[in-house]
Structure 1
């Protein structure tokens, strides 16, 4: 019953996280699009920056933006904040359920760094708060005067985080940790900067004072950062299902290229929404990054020492050896009734109990245990380099 409870709790929290993320990303994309498409016209109200007419759902909308605030505060204002808060809170809850409570399975890899689960959690939390602190300091420095310089500094910080954590956690754990850092930066931008600045503007209006224009400018800059980080964060959210993304030798470089891809895609649409000539070159950059990612993933996991073996064994011997490896190192989880504590059903429904099962999933086994070392997670069953080579030889023999 405990396994069923945790399985469904993880499912419902993940569902909540996805729903909240859709709402947050949708509003972010919409408002950046709206902001870029605003037009300045002589007929605008006093102190208005621009407006845009839109049609949706059978009706017309007239959107007017004030860079600071309107002369008089409206009776009702809709605050877009709960989408961000709900996304981060549900994401952090999922981090606790999956990665912190299952640290030995998903966060720690003894071959990378053999640490206690509590230490791993401390490293993770410390990285999250330190990431936000460094990013916020960059935004408060003179670099903020140049959007390009600030963006490059932020990019360098994220890549550094990815590189450092590749020496601390398992491939999957390090990959997800960087996603958590980026997600925290985005949510903290809303909670710590954008919304407080908007409240200061409202307070100034109520007091009959003129709001500081810098408040809106800073909020807009942080909002634009969130917009450009959105696609890389979504990639990390789904990337933990694809070992070639996180469990290879250059996973940190792959993540850096993913960020470049996400930024180039958003730059194309943001530029297009402003009515400027479409920067089609961005798709060339995106395609080049995709090719580079495939090449890096093909490099496989870090090399391991493998003892010398006899020349290619007979097919039957390869099959028997592979079956023994899978049944002793994998089948305790990938079974009709998993034996590993906390796992109620076979992960992703993959069962590896019979030779027929193993052969049917030969491609997945090769990807997860040979081309990458994502399985077993954190090498909890202590599969050896020789056993991985045996799986590689067997997988090659049946291709």
Structure 2
């Protein structure tokens, strides 16, 4: 029997695959052009308007690359635009947000111990924060305050810290860090869609009309591209953080995220400086190591775990707690899973509950119904290598219980 959860899981898989592929393409081309731009050098005998050039070798061939400060006097017939990688990364990422955090809001987005929000309000905050974040960022960049890029970037860092803290006040830890990544990635992709590409199109239109392009459009695009440069690595960390409870489930997750943005600055400063042939600032790796050590230390300062009260379960979890077969499933999970999924795991080599999922009480089991069904009912992913010897009929009981709750 193929139910809604089955198809939802595969939809998430397909969109996640697309997201990873397009993100690789976008980040790869971005890093390449940043390194190329910084490494360009004046070339004797270069055509008029050429700012710099570089010789590169790859795949058995040699490449001679030239960059025009504004644009060539005559446009080439075949001009390649690097934009779809960015657009599809955001579109696929937003689809993932909808499929995982909106469709599964009661499991992944809302944490009643943080803020007991109705689903519609949690989704409204999710969407509204992404939209308002871009609008505010764009207005600040276009204001006089944004004329000083160093001042602007320091202010934007403060904004990101505030957003990190704010998200942890309304969403689950997993969703908070994911949304901080989505907030940042939305700014990055919107920079490409609303600023960088339109400005390049203005330059192209001027050239085709025989007008001299205004250099200000390139300057504006350069500012936004610089922001994207320093934000890329932190976004990758935040998008991967949902797999690592030590990052998202820590009491200090917002501060961990804030330090990750600083790590992005130190790492990119090293490569930017090196590619520009301005030295090799090895000290940046020392600073990065210190920042990472602080993150590791903060992740160890987890406060006491709060017991989940079955009477306070969200409606979706309450439905699973009341479904036929729940008592039997509770016995199965406690016997096969709770030795690892506990506040103090009893299985050798497991220091913390995988994915911060605790399965020691009926309330915790009801709240994790979706994960239990997918990991141990639909598939044999858990227990890993079936180390606790879960029987086929026990997996069948999990499936029957879950479907009774979702179809009833």
Q: TM-score if structure 1 supplies the norm length?
A: 0.80
The answer for the alignment partner of 2:193 in structure 1 is 191
Q: Is the 8 A contact 1:132 1:185 kept in 2?
A: yes
| Map 1:1-399 → 2, pairs under 5 A | 1=2, 2-301=4-303, 304=306, 353=333, 355=335, 357-359=337-339, 362=345, 367-368=352-353, 375=358, 381=366
Aligned CA distance change for structure 1 residues 143 and 240 (closer, same or farther; 3 Å): same
Q: Is the 8 A contact 2:340 2:350 kept in 1?
A: no
Mapped to 2, the partners of 1:230 and 1:360 lie a distance apart of: 35
SS of 2:66's equivalent in the other structure is: strand
Deviation at 1:279, TM superposition (A): 1.1
**C-alpha distance after superposition, 1:329-386 (max 9, x if no partner):** 9xx89xxxx98xxxxxxxxxxx9736455436636976248xx96657x968479xxx
Deviation at 1:301, TM superposition (A): 3.9
Q: Is the 8 A contact 1:249 1:302 kept in 2?
A: no
SS of 1:232's equivalent in the other structure is: helix
Mapped to 2, the partners of 1:30 and 1:352 lie a distance apart of: 52
Mapped to 2, the partners of 1:45 and 1:154 lie a distance apart of: 39
Aligned CA distance change for structure 1 residues 142 and 183 (closer, same or farther; 3 Å): same
**C-alpha distance after superposition, 1:109-148 (max 9, x if no partner):** 1111111111000001110011111211221122333222
Aligned CA distance change for structure 1 residues 366 and 58 (closer, same or farther; 3 Å): closer
Deviation at 1:194, TM superposition (A): 0.3
Mapped to 2, the partners of 1:20 and 1:359 lie a distance apart of: 39
Aligned CA distance change for structure 1 residues 352 and 35 (closer, same or farther; 3 Å): farther
Mapped to 2, the partners of 1:42 and 1:163 lie a distance apart of: 53
Mapped to 2, the partners of 1:165 and 1:57 lie a distance apart of: 45
**C-alpha distance after superposition, 1:206-256 (max 9, x if no partner):** 111011101011111111211111111111111100011011111110001
Mapped to 1, the partners of 2:293 and 2:114 lie a distance apart of: 27
Count matched residues: 341
SS of 1:52's equivalent in the other structure is: strand
Q: Tell me which of the two structures has the higher relative contact order, counting C-alpha pairs closer than 8 angstroms and 6 or more residues apart.
A: 1
The answer for the alignment partner of 1:388 in structure 2 is none
Mapped to 2, the partners of 1:368 and 1:183 lie a distance apart of: 30
**C-alpha distance after superposition, 1:167-226 (max 9, x if no partner):** 111111111111110110010000000000000001101111011101011111111211
Which ranges of structure 1 fall in alignment gaps of 5 or more residues?
A: 307-328, 340-350, 384-399
Aligned CA distance change for structure 1 residues 119 and 128 (closer, same or farther; 3 Å): same
Which ranges of structure 2 fall in alignment gaps of 5 or more residues?
A: 309-316, 369-408
Mapped to 2, the partners of 1:105 and 1:182 lie a distance apart of: 23
